[in-house]
Structure 1
Amino acid sequence: MNIFDPNIIERGASPRSRESLQMAAKYIIGALGASIGIAYISDVLIADKKIFGGTTPHTVAEKEWWEATDKKFQAWPRTAGPPVVMNPISRQNFIVKSAES
């Protein structure tokens, strides 16, 4: 039985069962929204507000550190094959071509 079918009453289902299905859908959607809200608030309190203490490491907070680390990773020599980017997801390409070719 499809709760979104507008012809549910014509197929022999009582109007009462249709109302109960709509009520069930309302509670399920409400509970899903509430659980997402609780998860978001918990994430903000724990990760951003640091209610259990702690600090954000400077390696995560400082852009200069990230750029220096990325530069170091890109400078590592490759011995097995053509040079590849160490973090291909951020580059959106997988093989680095030299400027000479």
Structure 2
Amino acid sequence: MASIITGDSVKKMAVSVEEEKRKKSFTLKKSEEAFNAAKEIMTGGVNSPVRAFKSVGGQPIVFDSVKGSHMKDIDGNDYIDYVGSWGPAIIGHADDGGSILLLHHLHFKYL
């Protein structure tokens, strides 16, 4: 069953992130620096107004790695993707089978 992203779910995530930021081990300093650098070359710093977080407060999180439902941002914080919208809802992030098929297709189509 696919997840539906609602304004409420995004607000809950933003509140959760704000709660974690209050803990000493949680920081988004590198994400904030990356977002500020991105704003120098992209309008709003993102390729979609939805990703700018303006309607819910906060700032975009810059992810370093994802696998399945587990994600890690460039500040070293760990997340679990409970939404899994679009592609991740079907196969997760960086699914081994999907990654192999993608690399195979790219190799034979473009190399």
More strand by share: 2
TM over 0.5: no
Q: Computing the radius of gyration over CA atoms, which structure comes out larger, 1 or 2?
A: 1
Indicate the TM-score class for this superposition, using the shorter chain for normalisation. Answer: under 0.3
More helix by share: 1
Relative to the length of structure 1, the TM-score reads 0.22
Relative to the length of structure 2, the TM-score reads 0.21
